[in-house]
Amino acid sequence: MGYLSTAVIGSDALESSADVAHRTGISGYRRLTERLNKFPQGAPPSDTLFRILSLLLSEHEAALMAQLPLRPFTTETAARCWGVSPAAARTILDRFADRALLVDSELEGRRLYVFPPPMAGFFEFSMMRVRDDVDQATLASLLHHYINVEDEFVTTLFGSGETQIGRALVHEPALDGLLSGNGDRRHRRADGDGFVRDVSALGDGSAADTQLADTIADSATVLDHELAGEIIRSARYRGVSTCFCRHKMHHLGQACDAPLEICMSFDFVGDSLIRHGHAREVGVSEALELLEQAQEAYLLQFAENVRRSPKFMCHCCSCCCEALVAARRFGFLHPIHTTGFMPVEGPGECRACGRCVDVCPIDAIEVVAAPVAGSGCGDAEQASPEGGCRGGEESGAVEQTGGAARVRIDPDRCLGCGICVRACPYGVIELERSDERVLTPLNTTQRLVVQSIEAGTLPYFVFQQQNELGHRALAAVLGVIVKLPPFKQALASRQMKSRYLERLCDRSGWDY
């Protein structure tokens, strides 16, 4: 096979792909957009998206990127896609990785590359450091318009299925009352088989299997993947970068004063961003200090929706964070997976200070007048002409009346983060285990498979690496599911969260 030489990769190799686009009448940016929409979470085409892409890469480069696989791939795979030598492909791939358009890492002596989706992916990476190779002010404006003004991207991102990209983490300081009441912090970690192992102090320091499924953990059990601190401790690589959301809003003149250098990436992604200068490597102690700062600022910890090796953890404010803004605008889509906890009224006496209202990241709490004995309503102004009660008053109004108050939490909106528990100085709110089962995919592979089923993009994800036995087995099972009616596909997606798929995905290299 004849290869293009390394000397021409900057022009001829790129021009070759552009020529293909020209002959087919499809621009490189449009081809790349089609490629992006094979992800479970796509990027609807628009002039704004094309302008964003044009700031990040040339049309020649977009045509090259459009040919890359969805799953992790090697230099040799890219060389075959592009018709160039492996050496030439490696040069091109490294250029893309230097700009965080790709992420790369070593696995068993091989360098693997991954083309990340727009979110969480190269949209964020483009603003996670100050750069002089990109007009970040213009980019910020375009990203804001595409994400926050053009609703189609957000509704596609969060409305393609019930399995979301990220999940809320429980605010660890809020767990003290739940786990330390008897002085014994019961703490467990989920093993790869879906069970949890009790690692509480047992006198001799040994660990005992409890065969308790992580989705039905009892109220005194917290699993490692539910805790931000444990995610940090277990990561192989830890990178800290500029917060994409607040950096974007800074360029728009609307940023808040929450910490900026605090966005965390881990493992495969963290390694790549660190090596290519988009993140600063930190140790466990510094990362935990940053976590403490975020918790002191009442920021929500938002991590990849997997139990093992999550690749990112954001520390989100309610004003700038894209996920939280989406949760308030499109709450019916449930864009953030909840924790396994729920705040409930405690024994304390509410004094209508409103602190819980102020810190709630998605406006799920209000302070209302306490019911008057025997009436079922708070006060005369709350009673409706038809009987029953009207909605509650704001905290300030209750405080001004001098009447008794109580908190009211909307369970359909609440993320179960527990930030309100820590903010309340009077012990009015406590955290309990939720009755609702929270199903968290094992790893990124399982999450993407389930999301692909829900979004109808499964064939693009599965059928590209038929030389691997695991891929062939998965393709045989899921190839049938693609042909099912939508209702049966929804049922099948739940079955794909079973241990069968977990065990199939529980193999080396699938935690990318």
* One domain for residues 320 and 193: yes
CATH number at residue 372: 3.30.70
On whether residue 477 sits in a domain, the answer given is: yes
* One domain for residues 170 and 282: yes
On whether residue 133 sits in a domain, the answer given is: no
CATH number at residue 40: 1.10.10
pLDDT of residue 158: 78
| Ranges of residues in the chain whose predicted pLDDT is under 70 | 1-26, 160, 177-220, 332-333, 371-403, 459-512
On whether residue 127 sits in a domain, the answer given is: no
Domain span including residue 492: 444-505
On whether residue 93 sits in a domain, the answer given is: yes
Q: Tell how many helices (H) and how many strands (E) occur in the chain.
A: 23, 16
**Among 333, 354, 389, residue at a domain's last position:** 333
3-state DSSP call for residue 184? coil
On whether residue 492 sits in a domain, the answer given is: yes
pLDDT of residue 392: 40
* One domain for residues 323 and 363: no
Structural domain tally of the chain?
Answer: 4
Omega prior to 63 cis, within 30 of 0: no
pLDDT of residue 451: 82
Cα separation, 140 vs 247, in Å, equals 8
* One domain for residues 183 and 327: yes
pLDDT of residue 25: 43
On whether residue 1 sits in a domain, the answer given is: no
Residue type present at position 183: G
pLDDT of residue 348: 87
* One domain for residues 171 and 318: yes
* One domain for residues 363 and 287: no
pLDDT of residue 56: 96
DSSP 195-258: EEEE-S--SS---EEEEEEGGG--TT-EEGGG-HHHHHHH-S-EEEEE-HHHHHHHHTT---SS
* One domain for residues 499 and 354: no
The model carries a pTM of 0.79
* One domain for residues 363 and 416: yes
* One domain for residues 459 and 486: yes
pLDDT of residue 486: 58
Which among 442, 509, 449, 447 is positioned nearest to 474, based on CA atoms?
A: 449
Which among 7, 511, 418, 354 is positioned nearest to 174, based on CA atoms?
A: 418
pLDDT of residue 477: 58
Residue type present at position 164: Q
On whether residue 510 sits in a domain, the answer given is: no
* One domain for residues 322 and 365: no
